[in-house]
Structure formats: C-alpha cells, structure tokens
Amino acid sequence: MTKRKIKQHEPLPIRKSSHIKEDDSNDIFREVVKPWMFKGAVTREYGIDGTVEITKPLSTLTDQIVTGKRFSVQLKSSTSSDFDRAKFSLSVPRDKINYWFGTLEPVLIVFVDLTTKSCFFRWVDENLIQELFLANPNWIAQETVSIKFEKEKFISPKSLLEIERYVLNWKRQLRTILTPEIILSSAEKQSHSLICLQLKLKNTE
C-alpha cells in the first residue's frame, strides 16, 4: 500500500513566525531567571506576558523557598543589529505605559535578543516617566513612545540580586499619568465652571 502524498495546496496548520519568536523569548527568559519561577499568561494578555515569583534556596541547595514576592513581565524580542549599540530603543503603545504604571505590582520590560539570547531590562517607574517627559513633554498625546535600553543592563546572576532588591523595596505609585482624554475632560470641567461663575456674577449685577 503506497503512502498518500500531501499535495502542496492542501490546507495545513501554519505556525506563524511571531508565535515562534514569542515561544523562543519565553524560553530564553525562563532560563535566565532560574531558579525563580516564571509563569506565562494563560489567557489573552493586554500588556503583561507573565509573572515571576522570587524564590530563595534552602540549606539543602536543592529545595527553594517560595517568597510570595512577584513582579510582572512584558516580553519583547528581536534579531536586530541594534543590540550592538550602547543604547537602543523599543517602540510601545502609549496606553501600555499607563497600564503598566498603574498596576498592583512592579512591571519589568524585557527586550530579548534572539541571536545572543541576552535579556535587556528596565522597570516601568517614575524614572521612566520622567525620561519620557524630558524627551518629549507631549508624549502622552502620541500613539506610541520609544523606551530606551542600555546594553549593560541585562539579566545575569548579578542583576537578579538587583532585581530582587528592587521588588522587595517597591511601593505602588500614588499618582497616575494624565492621558489626553483625562486632560481634555478636566479642561472642559474647568471651562464649564468658569462659564457658570460668569453667569452667576452677571445675574447678581
């Protein structure tokens, strides 16, 4: 009995390159943060690809204590030659910045070099927001913004200690970023209040 040949035009599932890059970046990141636990998002995500829980070794050196200290992660990846530069940038939607800045736990953006398997990182915090305002005071009106990374800021056993200290000392931001919609709404309310005040003064004359 001869095997049936698959015709070229027969529809078969296609694994998209974007899915391959996503899986590769997940695997690379999971490897560099070991022995910490990385859990990828199991449902549709809107800016968070997973969470990392920090663990600490017991005296046995094999078992790990689960600390309950976590941080969220957004993974991006590329094979670009830009990683060879001292500084390089990643373009992200502006609304993602608002979302990350207001979360209940720290958010780490990780830019994965799929060629060298290096994971460059930076936190979404007050320092990033100030940097965006310095680069462009009107960045909140843009659809996308550029986040800068430094070549020497990559995940390693040494930087894991730095990341751990950051998470342990992290406190939720007390303020939020004003979006153009909020600014417009606030301006409209002020204008309305001013008109009401002017009418009130006119009626008392």
Specify the CATH number for the domain of residue 121: 3.40.1350
4 domain residue, yes or no: no
12-64 pLDDT per residue, tens: 888 888 888 888 999 999 999 999 999 987 665 678 999 999 999 887 678 88
Domain count, the chain: 2
Q: CA nearest 156: which of 119, 122, 123?
A: 119
Give the pLDDT band of residue 171 (cuts 50, 70, 90): confident
Residue 97 domain-assigned (yes or no): yes
67 and 144 assigned to the same domain: yes
Indicate whether 8 belongs to any domain: no
Give domain status of residue 112, yes or no: yes
167 shares a domain with 69: yes
**Which residues fall within 8 angstroms of residue 131, CB to CB, at 6 or more apart?**
148
Question: Residue 188's pLDDT is what?
Answer: 47
User: Considering only CA atoms, which of 19, 13, 8, 22 is closest in space to residue 110?
Assistant: 22
DSSP 136: -
- At 197, list the tokens: 């005040």
pTM, to two decimals? 0.78
Average pLDDT, the chain: 82
Same domain, 193 and 133: no
Locate 13 and state its tokens. Answer: 């599932």
Report pLDDT digits (tens) over 79-106: 887 788 888 999 999 999 989 998 899 9
Of the chain, the end-to-end C-alpha distance in Å amounts to 104
Domain limits for position 108: 17-174
Q: For residues 160 and 102, state if they share a domain.
A: yes
Look up tokens 């549709």; give the residue: 44
Judged against a pLDDT cut of 80, whether residue 149 lies above it is answered with yes
Residues 168 and 184 in one domain: no
